[in-house]
Structure 1
C-alpha cells in the first residue's frame, strides 16, 4: 500500500508538470500572437489612405539669385563634381530598397528643368535663354544637376538687375545682467549710395520697440560712402522685456530737410551678456510698424498621410493699442495648391502680454495631390471692441516665397519628411 501511494504521488506530480508546461506554452503563443497583431496594426496605420502611393520626396530648386560673373560655373563642371550626385544616388537606392512604396519619378517634387542663368548683361542673357534643352534622355542628368545645386549653394551671390543696395550698418549689442543694462553701439555704415551733386548730412534714429518705445539719435555726420559713428547708448531695461522686442534703425538724411532714406531691424531675441556684432542690410523704409512683429512657426511634412502640419507657436513685438481699449490678436492660415485656395483655418483670439501672444495651436492641411506643389499663407490680425479686424502682416511659406528664411524652412521641411522644423519670421507688409 505504501508503494502504491508513492507511485500515485509520482504520477500526479508528473501530470501536473505537463499541465503547467502546456499552460505556459499556450500563454507564450497567445502573447506572441497579440504582439504580432499589434505590430501589424501599427504598420497598417502607417499605410496611406485609399492605397495611394508615396513618392521619394526631393524639393524643387527655383533660382532666386544668379552667380556673379567673376564666379562663372559651366554645366560640364557642375556635372563632373560627383559628391552630391553620389550622395543622392546612394540615399535614393537605400530608401528604395527599404521603402514599402514605389518611387515615382514624375512627381512634382522631382520634376525640374535647366535653370536659366540670367546676368545683368543683356547680350549674355539672350544667348543663355536661347540655349537648347534636351528632354527625355537628359532627364537623369538634369535631375542630378538639380540635386547638385540644392546641396552646394554658391558662397557669394549677386542680385540680377541694375538695382543698387542702400548699404549696410554695423551694430554691437550686449546686456549686463548685474546692473540690468543694455549697451547698443552703432559702429559704422558702408556702401551707402552717395549722390555727388548733393551735400548732405546723415544720422540714425533708433527705436527700441518695448511696450513704451524708446527713441534715440546719433550725431550728424558728413554723407560719404562709408561713415563711422562709434556711438554707444545705454538703457536700464529688463532682459525679458528686451528679448521680446527689436531694435529699429532708420537712416535719415538732412539736406537740410530731414528724410528717412533706409531702415533695418535687429531682433533682440538672442540678446545676452556676450557682445555680438551684426551687419544689417539697409532696406527701403516701411510705412507700417507691424512689419517689425515676428511669428514663430513649426512645419512638418507627412507624405504617408498626405498632409502638412503647421503649428502656430507664438508672436512677439506686437504693436501696442492706440486706444485705451484692449485688442486681441489671431492668425489665419491658408493653403494654396494648383492656384486655388484649398483650406482656410484660424487660431483663437488672444490678448497680448508684454507684446507677446502664445497660441500653441496645430493645423493639419490635407494635400489634394502629392504631384503638385503647394504653399501656405499666414496672416496676423488685430481686433478691438470698436474696430474691425486689421491685417498687420503676412508670411508666405513655399519655394516661391520672397523671404529667404521662409524658403529655407520650406526646403528643410520638404527634404526631411517627418521632421519638425521651427523658425521665427518677421512679417511682411499685407
Structure 2
C-alpha cells in the first residue's frame, strides 16, 4: 500500500524568520479591523499637527529675537554731510507760514480818509476777526474804542456786539487833526470785552502812526492787533455807576445814582447832577447830596415824567461835580444817554427800552463835559433882552 507524501520542508532563507503556519502572502491577505485604521490615522494627524506647531513657534521666536529697526544704532559719523538742518528742525518762521493761521490777537479792517480842507480824518472800523477769547473756548462781548494821540480826552466807542469773536462794527468817526500834527499823530484802536458790573477786559490794541499811512487816498486795509499794553493807555477821569428804568404805561423814567470811583481828590466833596434834555434843550434836573472820597457812594434815585411820544427826543446827562476847599465847584466828567449817544451809553439806553419796568445798571467812563456838550450840540437858552435906560 502506497504512503501519501507528507508536507514538504522549505529551507529557511538566511536573515528571515519563518513562523509556523504564517507566510507573507497570508499577512497581506489578512483583513485589518476598523479601529486599527482609525487609530493609525489619528496618530498620523497628531504627528503632523505637532510638527506644524513646532515650525510656527520656531519662526516667531526667530522674528522676535531680531532687534527692531527703530532701535538700531545709527552711525552719525557716516551720515555727516549728507543731511541738512532744515530737514530735521524747521525754523519758527517756517512753522508760522506753514500753519496759515491768523495772528493770536486778531485782525482789524480799517478805512482811513483825510480831508485837507477841513483838516479832519475819517476813521471807518469795518470788522474784526479771530479775536482772542478771555477764557479758553469761550466767547466775548467786544466793542472798540478809537482815539487819536493828539486829541486828548476825545474818543469814540462802538456798539457792543454780544457773544462773538468776529464782530462787524460798520461804524465811522471823525477827528480834527491839523496838518502840522499829522507827523506826530497816531491812531489807537482798543478792542475790549464788555462786562456790565466789572472792569472790561482788553482783548487787543492797534497803534498806527499816521505818518506811515498814505492819506492821499481812501485806504481800506487789514491790520494786526497787538497784545494789551502796546499802545498808550488813555487816562481816565473816573467812572460812574447808575441804573435807569422806564415804565411806558405811566411814563416814569427813574434814574438811580449808585456810586463813583477813580476820582482825583479824596478831600473834595463830590455830587452828581442829573439833567433831562428835550430837543437838545435843558428840561429838568436833579442833584444828589455831596460825598467825600475818591469812590463816593450816593445811592439816590430820581423820577422824571416822560411821555412815550417824547422818548425819541429825550437825552439823559449825568455829570460828576467836585467842590474843593475854595468852595468852587467844577465838572469832573459827564455821561450822555439817548438817541445821539454812542458806544456803551447808547447800548445802555437801548437795553432800558428793550426791557421796560426793569432797572438796568451799568458802569460808565466819564468823558470831559465840553466834549459831551459838543456831541449833543446843545442849544442856548432863550434869554429875554434887557431894557435899555
TM-score by length of 2: 0.41
TM-score by length of 1: 0.37
Which has more helix, going by share of residues? 1
- Say which one has the larger Rg: 2
